[in-house]
Amino acid sequence: MSPKEATRIDITEATFKDPLEVIKNLSANFNISYTKVIQTYVMEDRIIDLVLEKEGSAYFKGKIVWIGNRKDDTEGTIFCVQTDSDLKKINPTAENTEKVILDKKKAIVRISTEAKAKCSVCGKNIEIFDDVAGCPLCEAKAHKDHLFDWIKMKNSCPVCKKRLSLSSTGQIIID
Ligand SMILES: [Zn+2]
Ligand SMILES: [Zn+2]
């Protein structure tokens, strides 16, 4: 392994799988302390930065505050990141992320983003900051609020047209 490879670790698969896999990678490479609160790993020191890049240039940077799993129980990791002005949730998925690299030398998680999926309701790109929801039958993806509004109005999926509704706990259910 060349020195360059040793300082850049590909954690794309870990990120798509589970926050625990991400924490394992971070713990193996940095002296971090965290507290596990239910399914969320809260950083005690915000020593790791997260940078979003598009075609090699950075367009977003912040400090990782916590790492958690998706509320809808699908696989994957959410990063909550503190910027100068606010907290942002980053949702890397196979549809918006090319690669997640751990830059060991600079203590940065670098996410190369690319919006590959379009919302099946509004037709716009699904970006990494967007909350995403999907049809449980055909797996069409959409901005979460757009899909929920659509289901409330039409009681169906915008793509496969099968009957859907929302449970009182905010899950999409098959009628
Ligand atoms: Zn949309
Ligand atoms: Zn559908």
Q: 47-86: per-residue pLDDT in tens? A: 999 999 999 899 999 999 999 998 766 789 999 999 999 9
* Residue extents of the structural domains in the chain: 3-113, 132-174
- How many angstroms does the Cα of residue 169 sit away from the middle of ligand 1? 22
Alpha carbon distance 62, 19 (integer Å) = 18
What's the 148 CA to ligand 1 centre distance in angstroms? 10
The stretch 20-42 carries a mean pLDDT of 95
Q: How far is the CA of 124 from the centre of ligand 1 (A)?
A: 6
Distance 174 CA to ligand 2 centre (A): 10
CA atoms within 13 A on the CB side of 61: 8
Q: How far is the CA of 105 from the centre of ligand 2 (A)?
A: 44
Average pLDDT of 148-159?
Answer: 97
Ligand 1 centre and the CA of 123: distance in Å? Answer: 6
The model's pTM: 0.83
Residue 67, H or E segment: strand 57-68
Which tens digit of pLDDT belongs to each residue from 117-144? 999 999 999 999 998 899 999 989 999 9
